[in-house]
């Protein structure tokens, strides 16, 4: 069975009463209608510019493991999800033509092995002409000039004279996802509300002595998700594991010594992703650790306050490093000037990743390295992992996630450097790292933090 994602009328969480849920549902229905009407207009403009009669968006399909009959986890292609919010609907197609009602070819085969797919009983479905199909092959196209976007092999469309994923078109469709509609912001806000319930449960489980796997279970239970519904694999990192940026395991034995917990975990609501990270000192933390967590949190809030249209995200990334240098000096991990700590690369050894990225139906959303005209904006030499290099604009939703980590393979390059207090650094090695991450809507009136602060 392909799970089409959580819906507000089906799985209410305990932090809302029935009246509040009904109000959310009604307001989302209105906002979603406006979102779809605007998408039709914008797609029509793009298609006319590319001299196309239409585009066929393919939702995608799960990949089968080699030599096996099992499939990998599957997530719908982003442009298809931008219209439908269906995160796990495989073998579906969406035909968009200027001036015509969109056609959704919905794959719902008769099947004795699995429960057939169904569309949710929600008003947005009526925006589409829906054709339910048994086949996994593409639908027939009318005469005209068409493009197909998605994970499509040429053999799938060999009977047509169509363009598959043309660069100019895909760049323009990516650009349509940069500025979020009111509906999208509402979905992202709700995803953040639900994800934070999981973070609170994870913290409580950690303080109660749980192992990484049980902390994961606490997160999933609090957010009422299963692992295949997560927008990305949760990072549940105790102690030194917090220094592995994308730590991918979950230990099954509790730690006798609990120094720290880093949780990077989200939620997908109607296709839209929350991406939140929190770090907590444990009962056995070194006395240096809590002030560092507080310092990274304060720096993050300062950077959030600076978000505004016209601000260069590269400049904000550099401000992060200046702030990290100040914090490392203040906490006596580094003995030099802030300018020297940045110039020598010391701050990059403590924080090698970028400040943040665009967020939407994909966790690392598209067009972060393109300007408004679609031109490539490569990351600067000193920040190769920065996923957002453009100026901020109203309507963007971004993550802000400064961090400090003890990563031996990066710090070893500075072992002879007396400007680093190696005894102090060594006292924190078993704590891994610190990351604080919120999801922010950039507006003309200031930053709108979608992530609750009631931890």
Task: For residue 172, report the phi and psi dihedrals to the nearest 5 degrees.
Answer: -70, -35
Task: For residue 339, report the phi and psi dihedrals to the nearest 5 degrees.
Answer: -60, -40
Whose CA is closest to 236, among 265, 258, 209, 207? 265
Check the annotation: does 107 bind a ligand: no
Check the annotation: does 437 bind a ligand: yes
Check the annotation: does 315 bind a ligand: no
- Please report, for residues 189, 252, 362, 409, 422, the alpha-carbon distance to residue 415 in angstroms, rounded to integers and kept in the order given: 44, 34, 39, 11, 8
Check the annotation: does 29 bind a ligand: no
Check the annotation: does 365 bind a ligand: no
Output the known binding site. Answer: 264, 275, 357, 401, 437
Output the known binding site for Mn(2+). Answer: 264, 275, 357, 401, 437
């Amino acid at each position: 069975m392909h799970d089409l994602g959580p819906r507000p009328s089906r799985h209410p969480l305990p932090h809302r009463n029935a009246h509040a849920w009904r109000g959310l549902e009604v307001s989302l229905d209105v906002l979603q209608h406006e979102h779809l009407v605007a998408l039709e207009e914008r797609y029509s403009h793009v298609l006319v510019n590319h001299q196309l009669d239409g585009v066929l968006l393919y939702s995608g399909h799960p990949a089968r493991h080699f030599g096996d009959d099992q499939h990998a986890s599957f997530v719908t292609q982003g442009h298809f999800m931008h219209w439908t919010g269906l995160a796990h609907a495989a073998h579906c197609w969406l035909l968009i033509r200027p001036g015509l009602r969109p056609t959704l070819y919905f794959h719902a085969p008769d099947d004795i092995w699995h429960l057939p797919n169904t569309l949710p009983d929600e008003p947005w479905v009526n925006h589409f002409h829906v054709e339910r199909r048994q086949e996994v092959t593409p639908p027939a196209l009318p005469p005209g000039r068409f493009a197909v976007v998605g994970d499509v092999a040429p053999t799938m469309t060999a009977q047509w004279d169509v363009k598959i994923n043309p660069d100019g078109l895909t760049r323009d469709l990516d650009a349509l996802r940069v500025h979020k509609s009111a509906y999208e912001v509402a979905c992202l806000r709700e995803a953040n509300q639900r994800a934070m319930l999981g973070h609170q449960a994870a913290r409580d489980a950690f303080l109660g002595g749980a192992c990484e796997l049980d902390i994961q279970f606490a997160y999933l239970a609090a957010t009422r998700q299963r692992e295949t519904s997560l927008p990305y694999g949760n990072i549940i990192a105790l102690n030194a594991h917090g220094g592995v940026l994308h730590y991918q395991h979950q230990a099954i034995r509790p730690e006798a010594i609990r120094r720290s917990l880093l949780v990077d975990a989200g939620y997908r609501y109607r296709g839209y992703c929350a991406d939140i990270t929190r770090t907590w000192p444990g009962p056995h933390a070194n006395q240096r650790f809590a002030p560092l967590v507080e310092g990274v949190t304060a720096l993050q809030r300062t950077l959030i306050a600076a978000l505004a249209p016209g601000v260069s995200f590269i400049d904000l990334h550099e401000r992060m490093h200046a702030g990290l240098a100040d914090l490392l000096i203040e906490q006596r991990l580094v003995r030099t000037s802030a300018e020297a700590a940045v110039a020598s690369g010391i701050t990059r050894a403590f924080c090698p990743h970028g400040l943040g990225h665009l967020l939407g139906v994909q966790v690392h959303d598209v067009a972060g390295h393109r300007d408004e005209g679609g031109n490539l904006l490569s990351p600067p030499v000193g920040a190769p992992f920065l996923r957002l290099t453009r100026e901020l604009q109203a309507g963007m939703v971004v993550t802000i996630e400064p961090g400090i980590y003890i990563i031996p393979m990066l710090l070893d390059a500075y072992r002879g450097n007396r400007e680093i207090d190696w005894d102090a650094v060594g006292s924190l090695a078993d704590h891994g790292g610190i990351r604080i991450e919120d999801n922010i809507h950039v507006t003309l009136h200031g930053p709108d933090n979608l992530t609750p602060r009631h931890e």
